[in-house]
Amino acid sequence: MSEHEIKVCSLDELADPGAKEFEFETAQGKDYGFLVCRDGQVSAYVNSCPHTGAALNWAPDRFLTKAGDQIMCGVHGAIFRIEDGHCLAGPCEGRNLTPLPCRVEDGAVYVSVKGEQA
Ligand code: FES
């Protein structure tokens, strides 16, 4: 399957700390990912909890704890490290979110995804 890069948004559209969901095409159809920004660092993950595969956010773009220092799954409350998506507590403790390669260039955020080119 080919890998290609999509421009998700400009860096200005991301709060710090903050998160933003996005969609992309795969051979199987649409899939969803999210960006997380904290202390100027941006990471991207597939929006699928390792516990059940459900989307993590309980409302649009709401992926973080109240303090904004960790990712929280809105379904059963699993807590993940922002930097590497490792689950620190909850029903999937010790497992990991699926990272997506991501970079910032000229104020825009790009993510590499596997699948069909849009
Ligand atoms: S689906 Fe995420 S903690 Fe259960």
Give residue-wise pLDDT tens across range 3-38.
Answer: 889 999 999 999 999 999 999 988 888 999 999 999
CATH number at 3-114: 2.102.10.10
Is any ligand 1 atom within 6 A of the Cβ of residue 51? yes
What would the DSSP string read from start to end of 64-114? B-TTSSSEE-TTT--EE-TTT-BEEESTTTT-B--EE-EEEETTEEEEEEE
Domain parsing of the chain, residue ranges? 3-114
pLDDT at residue 2 is higher than 90: no
pLDDT greater than 80 at residue 50: yes
Ligand 1 atom nearest to 56, measured from its CA: 2
Report the C-alpha dihedral over residues 88, 83, 46, 110, rounded to 10 degrees.
170
- Between 2 and 56, name the one with better pLDDT: 56
User: In the predicted model, is pLDDT for residue 1 greater than 70?
Assistant: no
Please tell me the residue having the least CA distance from ligand 1 atom 3: 76
91 lines ligand 1 (CB under 6 A): yes
Tell me the C-alpha distance between 34 and 19, whole Å: 7
Q: Is 49 in the pocket of ligand 1 (CB under 6 A)?
A: yes
CB 55 near ligand 1, within 6 Å? no
Q: Does residue 12 or residue 117 have the better pLDDT?
A: 12
Asked whether 111 and 47 are in contact (CB, 8 A), the reply is no
Pocket test for ligand 1, best of 49, 72, 87, 98 (most atoms within 8 A of CB): 49
